[in-house]
Amino acid sequence: MIRIFSMLVGAFFSLALLWSAGKGTVAYISEPPAKTVEAEFHQHPKALSLSSDGAFGKFDRQQLQRGFQVYSEVCATCHAIKQVSYGDLRELGYNEAEVKAIAAKAQVPEYNPATGEVKQHPGALKDHFPPVVYGGAGSPPDLSLIAKARHGGAAYIYSLLTGYADQAGYKNEKGEELLKKFPDAKTPDGLFFNPYFANLNIAMPQPLVSDGQVSYKDGTKASVDQMAQDVSAFLVWTAEPKLEKRHQTGWPVLGFLIFATVLAYMAYRTVWAEKKGH
């Protein structure tokens, strides 16, 4: 009796679930939810290939130095990299004298616990990049870990930097114009249209505006696309400075684990071979 009752209860809930799913499907087909402007026009990051990609990836030191130059001359006014110390820059291929010269140009705040005073001193190798004092509304994000904090990583950063567009003529994949399909979606004053940003409107003005904005020391042509790639590569390094060491360590460890697994399996076969024969 209990078994029959349990079966009836199960059948009732199964039918209720099927009815609910069917009703929801019919409602969705007959009256699909209205698409938002963000869902319709937001773009996924463009493809970006860097030397640090993949399990065997290594940093291109020349590109990292170019990226640091773009950061220093364009981005550092608003965005800090507080997790990076000046001494870390030696990993980019700079010698100690060059790093000391870079650090000495900065004024780093130092808190005195005895007096409560904050004094400035020229940067040294042990110092981290100082926070940025920003006078506008809000606070621009620190870029130290931005390549790990944003979905898409370096590709997102590259796409955002090169993705500013004229909203009036922007079209989606179907060729429909934004303001014709969503007349009320005009970008508010003080914001800038960028289809790679989550809600399409970003407070940051376009930072890379023209070719040659930075004069690369290695002679590379500083196109907007090149500068965006280089600073994206640099921000991958700030987020994962030990990436190469992790790769170098990971493969021997993986090899050892595979060897140990094979050895353990062979030992298992040897120990249990006679037992299985009986």
Q: What is the CATH number of the domain that holds 192?
A: 1.10.760.10
Sign, CA torsion 118/120/126/127: positive
> Residue 46: what are its φ and ψ, rounded to 5°?
-70, 165
Q: For residues 176 and 258, state if they share a domain.
A: no
Predicted local confidence at residue 111, as pLDDT: 77
Alpha-carbon span 171 to 153, nearest angstrom = 25
In a domain, 252, yes or no: yes
Q: What is the pLDDT of residues 147-186, one digit of tens each?
A: 999 999 999 999 999 999 999 999 988 899 999 999 999 9
Alpha-carbon span 264 to 241, nearest angstrom = 36
Domain of residue 181 covers 40-84+129-241
Q: For residues 133 and 214, state if they share a domain.
A: yes
Q: For residues 182 and 207, state if they share a domain.
A: yes
Predicted local confidence at residue 112, as pLDDT: 79
> Are 237 and 92 within 8 A, CB to CB?
yes
Predicted local confidence at residue 12, as pLDDT: 65
Q: For residues 136 and 248, state if they share a domain.
A: no
Predicted local confidence at residue 26, as pLDDT: 54
Alpha-carbon span 93 to 237, nearest angstrom = 13
In a domain, 268, yes or no: yes
In a domain, 32, yes or no: no
Predicted local confidence at residue 117, as pLDDT: 84
Q: For residues 192 and 149, state if they share a domain.
A: yes
Q: For residues 140 and 177, state if they share a domain.
A: yes
Known binding residue 42? Answer is no
Predicted local confidence at residue 134, as pLDDT: 75
Domain count, the chain: 2
Predicted local confidence at residue 210, as pLDDT: 97
Known binding residue 266? Answer is no
**pLDDT below 70 — which residues of the chain?**
1-3, 5-13, 16, 19-34, 135-137, 273-278
Known binding residue 227? Answer is no
Q: Structure pTM?
A: 0.82
Q: For residues 54 and 160, state if they share a domain.
A: yes
Alpha-carbon span 199 to 39, nearest angstrom = 9
Q: For residues 229 and 214, state if they share a domain.
A: yes
Q: Ramachandran region of residue 257, left (φ > 0), alpha (ψ -120 to 50) or beta? A: alpha
Q: Which pair of structure tokens corresponds to residue 147?
A: 């390549």
Q: For residues 136 and 228, state if they share a domain.
A: yes
